[in-house]
Amino acid sequence: MQMPSLGVFLRKGFFKVHIRKFLIPTLLTLIFFLFFSKYIPLKEILRAFKHISLEALLSAFFFYTLSQAVRSIRWKPLMKELSFLDIYFINSANIFFNNILPARTGELSWFYYAKKMGISLKASVWSFFLGRIFDLSALIFTGLLVYSLVKGSLFAFLTSFSVFIVSIFSYKAYIIMPSWGKLRDLKIYIRNSMSFSLSLYLFGCSLLSVILKFLAVLEVMSASSYLLGFLSFSFGELSTILPVHSFMGYGTYELSFSVPAKFYELDLKDWIVKGFVVHNFLLLSSGIYGLISLFWLHGSR
């Protein structure tokens, strides 16, 4: 199988990003590893990795696989022309490129491969947009719900319920959307393509995907509290939407992951190490499926 040359990707606009957008993330990663190696002993890092048994690692990878499968099924009603395997491999390649490329340039892979499979740019853009919105709402809903149940917070429970209601009735958003520029296209797309059942389906798939991914993370992370564990996981996931993102997420993921521990007045070094372990597991898992996906996407057609 012949992989595409760098020139092909460049012609497709795959790496057409100003050089500073690569230098800043790379610099952030180098700074993180400099401080990481200076303040956290290597033996602590090795001890954290040795703590993970083979059974736990396999179980984590199993839950991760299920999470990505559910995430891919979620897109099937929006991309009816594609098979489940096609969507799964496009999704896996997108996650892989997002993890290894700085400045969120990996997102371009979704549109590139969707077009390669015969999906119009407009359809791939709107499906991608909807997927990200429901992923975010499911993450916020779950975090607030877990917090309300553990802490007995009525406000957090009502807020989580509000997120759920807004999500499943989002198909009515076209009523209040203005018809300005590209928003007009989105308004028409939502009006013609969305429904209550589809919104409920999309939210349910995103919610299940989040839960399964958290179960995968739990297998490789030793946490004394499910609430703290989920909050750390959530903050780590939210680091992907930061305006400034480091190369492969190193630094931004670990620091975001450790934020909840600060409020619990726990040892930040310990939680940065936990975040480092979780981050590397996610990178490894996405790398395995990402490479398989590239062979499929470039070799099957």
- What is the pLDDT tens value at each position of the chain, 301 positions in all? 444 444 444 444 444 445 555 666 666 667 777 777 777 777 888 888 888 889 999 999 999 999 999 999 988 888 888 889 999 999 999 999 888 776 667 788 898 898 888 888 888 888 888 888 899 999 999 989 988 888 888 999 999 999 999 999 988 887 887 877 777 777 787 888 888 999 999 999 999 999 999 999 999 987 667 888 898 999 888 877 665 566 677 778 888 898 888 888 788 888 888 989 999 999 999 999 999 999 988 875 5
Is residue 221 within 8 A of residue 277, CB to CB? The reply is yes
Is residue 124 within 8 A of residue 136, CB to CB? The reply is no
H-state helical runs in 118-181? 121-151, 154-168
CB atoms within 10 A of CB 109: 24
- Residue keyed to tokens 């490789």: 220
Quick check: helix, strand or coil at residue 201? helix
Compute the distance between CA of residue 138 and CA of residue 177 in angstroms, rounded to an integer. Answer: 22
Full-prediction pTM beyond 0.75? Answer: yes
Is residue 138 within 8 A of residue 147, CB to CB? The reply is no
Q: Residue type for 195, please?
A: S
